[in-house]
Structure 1
Amino acid sequence: MDYSKKGIENKQSYIKSTSRRLTSKFRVTLFRVCLIMAVVTVIICVYAGLGYIKGLIDSAPNITQIDVMPKGYTTKVYDSDGNVIEHLIGAHANREYVKISDIPKVVQDAFVSIEDERFYEHDGIDVRGIFRAFFSGIKGGEFSQGASTITQQLLKNQIFGGGSEKNFIDKLERKIQEQYLAIQLENKLDKDLILEYYLNTINLGAGTYGVQTASKRYFNKNVGELTLSEAAVIAAIAQLPSYHNPITNPERNEVRKNEVLRQMLKQGKCSQEEYDEAMADDVYSRIQTVNEEYTTKSYYSYFTDELIVQVMEDLQSELGYTQTQALDLIYSGGLRIITTQDSTIQRIVDEVVADESNYPEMGKSLWELTYALSIQKNDEDKTTIHYHSDDLLKYFKDYPDPDNLYVDTKDSKFSLLFTDKEDMQNKINEFKEAMMDEGDIILGEKIDMVIQPQVSFVVMDQHTGHVLAIVGGRGEKTGNRTLNRATDTKRQPGSTFKILSTYLPALDSAGFTLASVIDDAGPYYYPGTNTEVSNWRSKKEYEGLSTIRKAIYDSMNIVTVKTLVEVTPNVGYDYLKKLGFTTLVESRTEPDGRVVSDINYPMALGGLTDGVTNLELTAAFAAIANKGLYIEPIFYTKILDHNGKVLLENEPEKEQVIKESTAWLLTNAMEDVVTIGTGKQLKLQAIDMPVAGKTGSTSDYNDLWFSGYTPYYTASVWGGFDHNRAQSERTYTRTIWRTIMERIHIEKGLEKKDFTMPDTIVSAKICTKSGKLAVEGLCDHYLGGNTVRVEYFAKGSEPRVKCDVHVKAHICTETNKLATEFCPNQKEAVYLNKTETGVTYDTPYILPKDKCTVHSHPGFNPPFDFNLPGNQNGNQNGNPNNGEENPPDNQEPPDNPENGNENGNQNGNVEDPNNSDGQNQNEDSNNFWSWFNP
């Protein structure tokens, strides 16, 4: 700076100059204007901010209309004794509500200490907490420390969808509304109720919501039993449920848990001694132990699967729910469903079905593969190719199979059935390698291996309609609401259907009795067709005159069809509908133009278009066991809502479908199935309990059935390959049925009792070849064996006429013709006065029609009347010989048993003769064929 005289004068001159004064004045004015603008801007911003906040507040939910109570609760399923057997859990619904009085102080203090230490002091928002979080953020450069109170967290979870905003503005708006409502909510609800709602709402990891469910999930105990260390573990989860999960991230949880304990000690919520003990507790070892037990739990049982289906249907049909509403209520409504399941019986069924020793050995048992593979090709279009099981079959179609294990079709030596999982996995790997090029990506792969043959089992209480236990498959269950072979799968019922489709209507309304006689003679064809009906034993062997009783216990196909011809398929179909069958086809046009219907003659042998389910077959037999009263099978008795109000009471439909006398007669005849017929292996010998039932099998033994009952329970078993395949082992289903029923009756402590005969039943001594009253000296001296037995009848249907098919005659022993007075060697015997249409077991004992011509002369008059009236075609009134037995154990069924369905269905009826204690069918059978070759 110039401090000379001249310099000072120039400076003074500049300062006093007009330009300098104008410049200074301009600067001052500009500053004042800027200051005023700044003040105005601040004022505008303040008012704008206040207006913005006011707008947010005005748009916030009305405090009088919001509901912060927890929503979504676990539905509990109870057995018939009131024990919880299942939990149905939907999204965000794994919750069990507990009152604050049932939540111990240590749990309350743990959450309050770490989440909102001034909870009992503030009025909804914690100002000190907000400033602490703000300055902490400034100091650390990151605003990560929360300042939300428990009240705010409750609002965030229940009103604002958990606070999942994607940007800062949305989050700020939610925070402002949240704080405003928090103040109002504190004025509306007391602190304890707010804390109660919060502790029942909060997400605590592993799919749990609320402290009660979390306590059970991590420690397998109720919340009221938690210790200090356990309470701290659960409270530590709240901040970040996945990050602090004590199962998957125990180290992270422990850091937070220790902070909870330090805060509790600092705030005087626990003593130093309690703190030290909690810090030393190895709580995470217990958590892992509980988790191992939890993860071994299987999917919902087959019983629960079907229960859900029935509840869904009833909520829609009875209460008008939509399907979506019904599902939401079932999985999130906190219902209490009282089922019909008997846990003891269900356990027995599960154990026996799971016992692999009851099934054919590997080689006869096989693994069946279902396969799918999706590949993205490494080309310009990134083409996606999907491969399925059929592609695997084509690839290995020429695979050598020396043991014939894999043969499935005529075109391929390789099938999806195999004995070794490792072997099949190697085939899968080879297939994948062949299908993929370098750079290809596997988008997805599904490998599902199911053991075959499969089974299903149903047990009902015939007196109530209650389904007590079911199993829908053999092997490990791989999901919820998967294929349930007991309720979903429709299979051909084979000979079990004879009782329901034919003999039940025949005895009930068509004038037949158990003594009615039908001629088992052949060849015989379905009326109006060229399809032959064959007996399961052999196409070339026929019994001759046989009673309905014998046809039932010996499962005779020709007699059954002939009976249905008389009853008519329409009548049989009407009875089947009354017995609850919903899968029968009255009439349907197939894609190829064929019209199919189950109202036809093959229905007699179980030859159906689609088939039946095990559940419906069991319910039908239960109606017979229940004196003819059909009761719709049910899986639950009552449903209560979350508040204990009854939503549904399940009263099954009931209908008297047949007379009580008919039911008893069928029962009595089916007892013979087990004592002297095709089902001897099904005797409950261990407990000497009477059993009535019917065996059944289909072409190539694709399906094996037994439906039967005791005076207590009705049960059915099915066995077969999911995709039809012939079975060489045919006794495993009988072993399963007998074992289950013996164990049930023993473990339930049930005493032996017989089926009660109603007073509408009478008895008569009849002849089993005529069905009429037996004649002493004739029927009991018949060459073919004693045909006299006591038979039972519905009162009024018993025979009044004496047998007229047995005739006593003298026969020339040299010519086997009617003797004359000149025949030197004669024998007197009782023969059958019958006209044969083919060779049967009656043929050797038919009364000869011709006189002896070797020893006769003109004028000969026979001493006996050989023109006695008789039934030349078989009488409709007859009865089996009680002494007739089953075929020998080593007798094999025909290679091509009767198919039973003229509509193209190849699943008709055959019977398995392999009874462990079987004997000769007819004690004179050894003389039968020798009669033709003397």
Structure 2
Amino acid sequence: MNFSKKGTDAKQKQIKSKKRKLLSKLNVAFFRTILICFLICIIVGIFAGVGVLKGLIDNAPNIDSIDVAPSGFSSTLYYSNGSPIKKLIGSDANREYATLDEIPKNVQNAFIAIEDSRFWTHNGIDIKGIFRAFFNGISQGDFDEGASTLTQQLLKNQVFNGGSESTFIAKAERKIQEQYLAIQLEKKLSKEQILEYYLNTINLGQNTLGVRAASRRYFNKDVSELTLSEATVIAGITQNPSGLNPITHPERNSEKRTIILNYMKEQGYISNSEYKEALKDDVYARIQIVNEKNYADKSASINSYFVDELINQVIEDLQEKLGYSETQAVNLLYRGGLEIHTTQNKKMQSICDSVFSDESLYPSNSKWSLTYRLSVMDSNGKEHHYSEQDLESYFINERKQSSFHLLFQKKGDAKAYIKEFKSHILKKNDKITGEVTDYTIEPQISFVLMNQKNGKVLALVGGRGEKTASRTLNRATDSPRQPGSTFKIVSTYLPALDTKGMTLATVQDDSEYYYPDTKKKVKNWNGEAYNGLTTLRQGIYNSMNVVTVKTLVDVTPQVAYDYLLRLGFTTIYDNYTDAAGNSYTDIQLPTALGGLTKGVTNFELTGAFAAIANKGVYTKPILYTKIIDHNGKVLIDNEPETRRVMKDTTAWLLTNAMEDVVKIGTGGKVRFDQISMPIAGKTGTTSNNKDLWFVGYTPYYTAGIWGGFDNNQSLTDTSFHKNLWRIVMQKLHIELGKEYVEFEKPKNIVAATICTKSGKLAVDGLCDGHIRKEYFDASTVPKEKCDRHVKYRICKDSGELAGEYCPIHSIIEKTFLVKDETGTTADTPYVISSSKVNRTCHIHNASTIYEETKEQTSNPSSDRGNDIATSKEKAEKVKKEEGKEKKKNEKIQQEDEKKDF
């Protein structure tokens, strides 16, 4: 640098130059402008920030309108003895509420220690935590470290949908509103209430929400029983319910548990000895044992058939009785925290399940039925769908395999057919978009067990074999089948005895018969062997079709239909039109034999028979007794609907007749062979053996069983269902200690000795071989004597009525039936024809008497001569004997009429 005088003068001259002065002024002005702009930006930023903040706060939910109380609770189903069956868990609903006094201090403190150590002192937000998280974020470039208090987490879960924002801006907005509301919430609720809500809200893995549900899931105990070690395991899940799951990631959870125990010790919640003892606890081994024992079996999550139908009934009742929509009813059931007390008897259901899962009790030729679904997208993007019916049609119609069916001896036997069918269907560039192959063991069964006195369904089996999903086909409740002869009792004999004045002694002629005004013959199950004059009792225990149809003609189908409606049947129709426009009705004579438009369910048929067992009072079958809401209020007290459908005498008479079904009729195979117990019931078999039924009852329980193929194939073994009914019912009565008792007989049941060919009072010496003791309602006891049996004096030589000239040794007395035969029956040999009644012996007359007298004179020692001295004496003796017999009979009749009067 030049410091000479000359250099200094030059420097001063440069500084004092106008150019230099102007440049300096410009620089000063520029920096002033920059400073002012900066200050303005700061001020504007501050105001803008305040405005944005105010806007976010203004847009935050109103603290008075939000509800942070946990919502969404699993509903619990209970057996009749109060033990739990299972939980129904909807979306975000596996929660069981626990009050703070039920949650141990160690559980509370474990969460506070790891999540919000200053919980008891802050006002909803933790300022120290916020600054710590901010500076850590600046220094480490990671802003994921949380500073949320328990209050903020509660708001995030209950108000802000768990904080699932997709952008940083949205997350920041939520954080600001969350912090604002946290301060407001702490003014509204106590710390204890906030903590209680929080502990019932948090996600703790394995689809559990809240500490009580988590405690049951991981330790199979109530939260109130948790130890310190167990409490820290659950608290350790909070920050990452998947990654810190103690079942799938025990090592990670163990590290977190150690951190929590350290925090608890540092914060003074536990002592050093408690700390060490907790660390020694082999808690994860217990967790694995609980998991293996209670949750390893995935089938445990599948509803039973009973639960499936229970769900249907509860949803229906919530709509009908409380006015819920279907959606509301479903949400309440799966997320409302209901307690549903069922009628299911745990022990009885277990017995039923054990018996019906025994494959040795089913036909040895059982087969597997194929269910197949195939979806294919062609090269044009159009989707085509195929089923097992398409596969069957292909092999029958295109491959000409007329004997092909969808039943296979083994599951694997269908694979080759499926492969060939797919090769036939698939074209070039076709893409399979879905394929399902399933098998069902056949024949199938269903079973319903009820207490007839109160309508409670005690056990239910909707099918045979493994149940692989919930809400599947329930053959006990969802599958109407033709009931066959079982239906005769409720469709025909019940109204006949109850309304039409008929009795078990009423007689119908079992002979060749056609439905009125048709050419369709009514066929008996045993072919053309007609029994002739038959009482309704015999028609019941021998299941005779002709007797039944003729009885319904007298009853009328309309009367029968009205009774069936009152017995709870919902699948019968007065007028039904199908999709093709064809009309059908069940107000018709074939209804007598179970020929219905759609059929009936086992559930409803068993309920109808239970009404007979219950002395004529129908009780609508129920599967639960009450529903209690989350707050302990009874929503539905399910008192069963009852109504008298028939007289108690009618019920007892039907019961008595159905006892004969078991003792001497078609139901012999259901008789118990280990204990003695009265059983009444009715068998049923439909055409071609497609449906097999037995519905019966003891003085304790009513049970119905159905057997058959889902696709209506014919059965070859037609008695396996009776064996199943006997085995399961006998086991139930033995294991439940049921003692022998008779069906209770009403007081106005009386007995009388009747003739089974006339239904009237029997006459000794006249009705021999057809006499039985029969029971009646007192108002229907017959007053008249048998008029079907008559005795005639017959001449053996001519086979005609004996005349006055017939010799004594040729005359016999013979009992005949008086009836008009319409065909050959078992009565035919004993029916006397009108021609014989109107004709006397054409062999013996006056001339033959003269010859006999002459023969006697020439041969006094002959046998004929010993009969009578002369023909005139003989004739007079016959007339005297006939006169005496006539007077005797008139006297007996007069005495009987006096007794009857």
**TM-score, scaled to structure 1:** 0.86
Which AA in structure 1 matches 2:515?
Y
Distance 1:272 1:777, change over 3 A: same
Q: Is structure 2 residue 512 aligned with structure 1 residue 508?
A: no
Which residue pairs with 1:392 in the alignment? 391
TM-superposed deviation, 1:12: 4.0
- 1-side partners of 2:210 and 2:574: how far apart? 54
Task: Name 1:563's counterpart in structure 2.
Answer: 551
| Larger CA deviation: 198-207 vs 650-659 | 650-659
Query: Per-residue CA shift, 1:194-237, capped at 9, x if unaligned?
Result: 11111111111111100111111112111122233322221121
Which of 650, 653, 663 is 1:665 aligned to? 653
Q: Secondary structure at the match of 1:170?
A: helix
397, 417, 422: which one aligns with 2:412: 422
1:588 CA displacement: 2.0
CA deviations on 1:840-873 (whole Å, 9 max, x unpaired) are 11112223543687844468999899xx9xxxxx
Matched, 1:804 2:792: no
Which among 738, 742, 763 is matched to residue 754 of structure 1? 742
Q: 1:445 aligns with which of 432, 435, 449?
A: 435
Would the alpha carbon gap of residues 817 and 289 (structure 1) be closer, same or farther in structure 2, given more than 3 Å must change? Answer: farther
- 1:439: Cα distance to partner? 6.9
Structure 2 gaps of 5+ residues are 849-874, 887-901
SS at match of 1:495: helix
Q: Do the aligned residues in 2 keep the contact of 1:393 with 1:412 (CA within 8 Å)?
A: no
Aligned residue number for residue 470 of structure 1: 460
* 1:777, distance to aligned residue in structure 2 (A): 0.8
C-alpha separation in 2, matches of 1:110 and 1:433: 63
Counterpart residue number, 1:697? 685
For the 8 Å contact 1:498–1:606, the answer to whether it is kept is yes
- Please give the secondary structure, in 2, of the residue aligned with 1:552: helix
Query: 1:95 Cα deviation (Å)?
Result: 0.7
Q: Distance in 2 between matches of 1:147 and 1:343?
A: 50
Secondary structure at 2:780's aligned position in 1?
A: coil
Q: Which amino acid aligns with 1:14?
A: Q
Over the matched positions of the two proteins, sequence identity in percent amounts to 57
Partner of 1:150: 150
Among 305, 308, 313, which residue is 2:311 paired with? Answer: 308
More displaced stretch, 381-390 vs 633-642: 381-390
CA distance in 1, matches of 2:843, 2:6: 187
For residues 519-564 of structure 1, what are the alpha-carbon distances to aligned partners after superposition, in whole Å with 9 as ceiling and x for unaligned? 1011x111111211100011x2101110000000000000100111
Residue 526 of structure 2 aligns with which residue? Answer: 537
Q: Secondary structure at the match of 1:515?
A: coil
Q: For structure 1, which segment, 658-667 or 426-435, has the greater mean C-alpha deviation from structure 2 after superposition?
A: 426-435
- Secondary structure in 1 matching 2:725: helix
Per the alignment, in what secondary structure is the counterpart of residue 546 of structure 1?
strand
| Offset at residue 130 of structure 1 (A) | 1.4
Shift of 1:463: 1.4
Letter in 1 for 2:790: V
Match of 1:525 in 2: 514
In structure 2, C-alpha distance between the alignment counterparts of 1:715 and 1:519, rounded to whole Å: 33
SS in 2 for 1:153: helix
Shift of 1:818: 5.0
Q: 1:80, CA displacement in angstroms?
A: 2.4
1:565 deviation in Å? 0.7
- Distance, in Å, in 1 between the alignment partners of 2:431 and 2:788 is 81
The residue aligned with 2:57 is 57
Amino acid across the alignment from 2:744: T
1:789 aligns to what? 772
| Cα distance, 1:51–1:765 mapped onto 2, change above 3 Å | same
Matched, 1:612 2:629: no
Q: Equivalent residues in 2 for 1:686-725 (5 A)?
A: 686-725=674-713
Code of the aligned partner of 1:517: V
Q: 1:570 to 1:276 in 2, by over 3 A?
A: same
Q: Which amino acid aligns with 1:47?
A: F
Segment drifting more, 263-272 vs 98-107:
263-272
> Measured at CA, do residues 382 and 802 of structure 1 come closer, stay the same or move farther in structure 2, by a change above 3 Å?
closer
Flag the 1:243–1:431 CA change in 2: closer, same or farther, 3 A: farther
* Larger Rg computed on CA atoms: 2
Contact between 2:126 and 2:148, CA under 8 Å: does it hold in 1? yes
What's the CA shift string for 1:116-139, capped at 9, x where partnerless?
Answer: 122222221112211222222223
Distance 1:424 1:227, change over 3 A: farther
* Residue equivalent to 1:873: none
Residue by residue, what CA displacement relative to the aligned partner does 1:890-921 show, whole Å, maximum 9, x if unpaired? xxxxxxxxxxxxxxxxxxxxxxxxxxxxxxxx
Distance (Å, rounded) in 2 between the aligned partners of 1:541 and 1:210: 73
Name the stretch that deviates more: 391-400 or 21-30. Answer: 391-400
Distance 1:298 1:145, change over 3 A: closer
* Counterpart residue type for residue 80 of structure 2: S
Aligned pair count reads 846
- Bigger relative contact order, structure 1 or 2, given CA contacts below 8 A and separation 6+? 1
Give per-residue Cα distances to partners, 1:266-301, cap 9 Å, x unaligned. Answer: 334334444444444443333233223224214222
- In structure 2, the residue matched to 1:47 is 47
Say which SS state the counterpart of residue 237 (structure 1) adopts.
coil
Q: Which amino acid aligns with 2:351?
A: I
Deviation of 1:799 after TM superposition, in Å, equals 1.2
| Aligned: 1:485 with 2:470 | no
1:622 aligns with 2:610: yes
Deviation at 1:383, TM superposition (A): 4.4
Partner of 1:125: 125
Match of 1:14 in 2: 14
What secondary structure is seen at the aligned counterpart in 1 of 2:205? coil
1:845 aligns with 2:830: yes
Q: Which whole-Å CA distance do the structure 2 matches of 1:479 and 1:110 have between them?
A: 40
Distance 1:264 1:440 in 2: 64
- Are the counterparts in 2 of residues 807 and 847 from structure 1 also a CA contact under 8 Å? no
The 5-angstrom pairing of residues 47-446 of structure 1 reads 47-292=47-292, 293-296=294-297, 297-361=300-364, 363=365, 365-377=366-378, 379=379, 381-397=380-396, 412-429=402-419, 431-432=421-422, 435=425, 441-446=431-436
Q: Residue type of the partner of 1:708?
A: G
Equivalent position amino acid for 1:584 in 2: I
Q: CA RMSD in A?
A: 2.5
288 and 858 in structure 1: CA distance in 2 versus 1, 3 angstrom threshold:
farther
Separation of aligned partners in 2, 1:815 and 1:206 = 98
Letter paired with 1:393: E
Post-superposition CA distance 1:630-672 (Å, at most 9, x none): 1222222222211111212122222211111111111111110
Structure 2: how far apart are the matches of 1:734 and 1:329?
41
Contact kept? 2:798, 2:843, Cα under 8 Å:
no
Pairwise CA distance, 1:115 = 1.3
| TM-score computed with the length of structure 2 as normaliser | 0.89
* Worse-superposed segment, 849-858 or 572-581: 849-858
Q: Distance in 2 between matches of 1:853 and 1:6?
A: 188
Kept in 1: contact 2:441–2:464 (CA 8 A): yes
1:829 to 814, 823, 830: 814
- Matches of 2:406 and 2:720 in 1, distance apart? 23
Further displaced range: 252-261 or 198-207? 252-261
- Higher alpha-carbon deviation: 739-748 or 603-612: 739-748
What is the rounded CA distance, in whole Å, between the counterparts of 2:377 and 2:284 in structure 1? 44
2-side partners of 1:859 and 1:35: how far apart? 165
Alpha carbons of 1:351 and 1:33: their partners in 2 closer, same or farther (altered >3 Å)? same
> Which whole-Å CA distance do the structure 1 matches of 2:433 and 2:112 have between them?
48
Closer, same or farther: CA 804–45 of 1 in aligned 2, 3 Å: same
Q: Is 2:801–2:841's contact at 8 Å kept on the other side of the alignment? A: no
1:10 to partner: Cα distance: 4.8
Alpha-carbon distance between aligned partners in 2 of 1:304 and 1:174, rounded to the nearest angstrom: 42
> Residue 904 of structure 1 aligns with which residue?
none
Query: Which amino acid is the alignment partner of residue 836 of structure 1?
Result: E
Judging by fraction of residues, say which structure has more helix: 2
Counterparts of 2:579 and 2:189, CA distance in 1? 66
Partner Cα distance (1:166, 1:727) in 2:
62
